[in-house]
Structure formats: structure tokens, C-alpha cells
């Protein structure tokens, strides 16, 4: 898990507007396909204005959004 990430630990939330697919895959319940969908949503719609918009990504329902809410930020 080496890289050029700014954070040295896993405690800080992942920025939805800056995260790579690889960083998103590190979140619980987010695999490569879902990470690609999040990045594709961002490319199509621009920056996430708030964490709730993550629910607009196909495949992220209320349960998954709730689990991710405290692990991500905008």
C-alpha cells in the first residue's frame, strides 16, 4: 500500500472529489466496479456538493450510503 497519498494513516475520510478508483476501493462495500461508477458520476456531473449525492451513484442505496457517510467527505 505504498503511494503518494497525502495521508499517512487510514483515519481521515476519503475526499469524494479527489479520490482515485484505488482509494475508493479501500472503502467497505466498494469494489472496482463501484469505484469506477463513483468516478464516472463525478466526471459526468462535476464535483459532489455533499456526501448525500453519493446516493445518486447507481448501486449505492441508503444502507451503503449510511455505512460510507462517516468515511467520506467532500
Tens digit of pLDDT for each residue in 33-51? 999 999 999 999 999 999 9
In terms of pTM, does the model score above 0.75? yes
Q: What's the grid cell of residue 14?
A: 476519503
Taking the C-alpha atoms of residue 3 and residue 58, their distance in angstroms, rounded to an integer, is 29
Mean pLDDT for the chain overall:
88
pLDDT of res. 11: 62
Alpha-carbon 16 to chain mean position: 5
Query: How large is the average pLDDT for residues 17-43?
Result: 96
SS3 61: coil
Amino acid at each position: 500500500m505504498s503511494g503518494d497519498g497525502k495521508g499517512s494513516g487510514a483515519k481521515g475520510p476519503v475526499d469524494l472529489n479527489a479520490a482515485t478508483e484505488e482509494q475508493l476501493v479501500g472503502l467497505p462495500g466498494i469494489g472496482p466496479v463501484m469505484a469506477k461508477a463513483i468516478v464516472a458520476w463525478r466526471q459526468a456531473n462535476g464535483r459532489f456538493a455533499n456526501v448525500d449525492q453519493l446516493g445518486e451513484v447507481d448501486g449505492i442505496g441508503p444502507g451503503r450510503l449510511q455505512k460510507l457517510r462517516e468515511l467520506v467527505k467532500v
